[in-house]
Amino acid sequence: MRDSRETFVNHAFVVGHPIKHSRSPLIHGHWLEKFKIAGSYRPIDVSPAAFPDFIANLKGEHRSFVGGNVTIPHKEAAFQLVDRPDALSEELGASNTIWIEDGRLHATNTDGHGFVSNLDERAPGWDRIDRAVVFGAGGASRAILQALRDRGIGEIHVLNRTVGRAQELADRFGTRIYAHPMEALREVMGGAGLFVNTTSLGMDGDAAPDIDFGGLASGAIVTDIVYVPLKTPFLLQAERQGFATVDGLGMLLHQATPGFEKWFGVRPVVDAALRQVIVEDM
Ligand code: ATR
């Protein structure tokens, strides 16, 4: 028999494969406690083969869930399987946040929101720039290009080892996005106000290529989606050359806020206490 009190408790999940490294349970757990919400947020490991059933069951067997996050490798499948992906997911072909509304499964993608909100918080006014340089052309790069374009950044230059992948993104995301091979680095850095690393280079102490940030505009900002370590090789190099940097932890924290609000009805805040929770777990 179901405990009648359970009907008032909202349950959410993060689903991935593997899932044990996800920091999302720490983030949502912190907010649930902070706002004294009698809800839960749990990690669930689901293989790609079992994922379609997992999604179908959200309206059946698993209907105690109000929604959840979707992470690697299921973001594309989630977009395909929900009833109502929003326009952001549609363009990216990937969703990371799901909720049930009027008996239907809805989805969005909050990675771009996380990226711009981190810059808005830590470098207000960052968007008064004419040119941005984005290094990398994978899944994270897509969401960032979409967000930079939607913020109205004039020119966005994508540099990638495999220039064809950068070209695909340029073709897909807009006329003021330009693709380049790595050799064009010096040329595209000239006068740029923002450099973003969207690759995993430099993660967990791995080596990263040397990048000369010298050509960036004065006052330019260098940011990284990698947040372990907080000071990545790219950020350390940029600081040595006198540029301001924004670490990637805030992107992770801010991408979580829209989901929490959908599932639990409270708009959470990203603050120093939350950052500390994640830093202590690193
Ligand atoms: P994600 O979806 O997490 O962004 P991805 O699709 O595997 O991951 O993309 C990884 C990005 O890192 C790509 O831009 C990749 O460059 P390629 O498109 O040429 O593969 C880039 N990358 C990974 N390892 C790299 C390396 N050693 N040197 C340069 N770029 C690298």
Q: How far is the CA of 137 from the centre of ligand 1 (A)?
A: 7
Lining residues, ligand 1, CB within 6 Å = 136-141, 160-162, 165, 198-199, 201
Among protein residues, the one whose CA lies closest to atom 7 of ligand 1: 138
Are both 116 and 241 inside the same structural domain? yes
Asked if pLDDT for residue 7 goes beyond 80, the answer is no
Q: pLDDT band for position 60 (50/70/90)?
A: confident
- Pick the atom of ligand 1 nearest to 162's CA: 19
Among protein residues, the one whose CA lies closest to atom 30 of ligand 1: 161
Question: Residues 162-196: pLDDT tens digits?
Answer: 999 999 999 999 889 999 999 999 999 999 999 99
> Structural domain tally of the chain?
2
Are both 191 and 268 inside the same structural domain? no
How confident is the model at residue 175, as a pLDDT? 87
Are both 129 and 235 inside the same structural domain? yes
How confident is the model at residue 2, as a pLDDT? 47
Among protein residues, the one whose CA lies closest to atom 6 of ligand 1: 138
Q: Which strands form 84-85's sheet, in the order they lie side by side?
A: 40-45, 11-16, 65-70, 97-101, 104-108, 84-85
What CATH number does the domain containing 52 carry? Answer: 3.40.50.10860
Are both 134 and 242 inside the same structural domain? yes
- Residue 88's nearest CA partner among 255, 222, 200, 246 is 255
How confident is the model at residue 4, as a pLDDT? 46
Residue 92 sits in which domain range? Answer: 4-110+256-281
Are both 24 and 123 inside the same structural domain? no
Among protein residues, the one whose CA lies closest to atom 24 of ligand 1: 201
Among protein residues, the one whose CA lies closest to atom 2 of ligand 1: 139
What CATH number does the domain containing 211 carry? Answer: 3.40.50.720
Interval 55-82 mean pLDDT: 94
Among protein residues, the one whose CA lies closest to atom 14 of ligand 1: 136
Q: How far is the CA of 26 from the centre of ligand 1 (A)?
A: 27
How confident is the model at residue 174, as a pLDDT? 87
Q: Over pLDDT 70: what percentage of the chain?
A: 97
Average model confidence (pLDDT) for the chain?
A: 95
Active-site positions read 75
Choice from 134, 200, 252 to test ligand 1 binding pocket (greatest atom count within 8 A of CB): 200
- Pick the atom of ligand 1 nearest to 142's CA: 4
Q: pLDDT band for position 5 (50/70/90)?
A: very low
Are both 277 and 148 inside the same structural domain? no
Q: How far is the CA of 136 from the centre of ligand 1 (A)?
A: 6
Q: How far is the CA of 7 from the centre of ligand 1 (A)?
A: 44
Are both 132 and 167 inside the same structural domain? yes
Question: Residues 125-168: pLDDT tens digits?
Answer: 999 999 999 999 999 999 999 999 999 999 999 999 999 999 99
Q: Is there a cis peptide before residue 25, judged by omega within 30 degrees of 0?
A: no
Are both 161 and 212 inside the same structural domain? yes
Choice from 111, 161, 180 to test ligand 1 binding pocket (greatest atom count within 8 A of CB): 161
Q: pLDDT band for position 63 (50/70/90)?
A: confident
Interval 10-36 mean pLDDT: 97
Q: How far is the C-alpha of 257 from the C-alpha of 265, rounded, in Å?
A: 11
Burial (Cβ within 10 Å: 0-12, 13-18, ≥19) of residue 54? buried
Are both 53 and 181 inside the same structural domain? no
Burial (Cβ within 10 Å: 0-12, 13-18, ≥19) of residue 34? middle
Are both 209 and 267 inside the same structural domain? no
Interval 258-271 mean pLDDT: 97
Question: Residues 218-240: pLDDT tens digits?
Answer: 999 999 999 999 999 999 999 99
How confident is the model at residue 1, as a pLDDT? 42
At position 231, the amino acid (one-letter code) is K
Q: How far is the CA of 15 from the centre of ligand 1 (A)?
A: 23
Are both 98 and 158 inside the same structural domain? no
Are both 82 and 105 inside the same structural domain? yes
Q: How far is the CA of 240 from the centre of ligand 1 (A)?
A: 25
Q: Over pLDDT 90: what percentage of the chain?
A: 93
Helix (H) or strand (E) holding 14: strand 11-16
- Pick the atom of ligand 1 nearest to 198's CA: 4
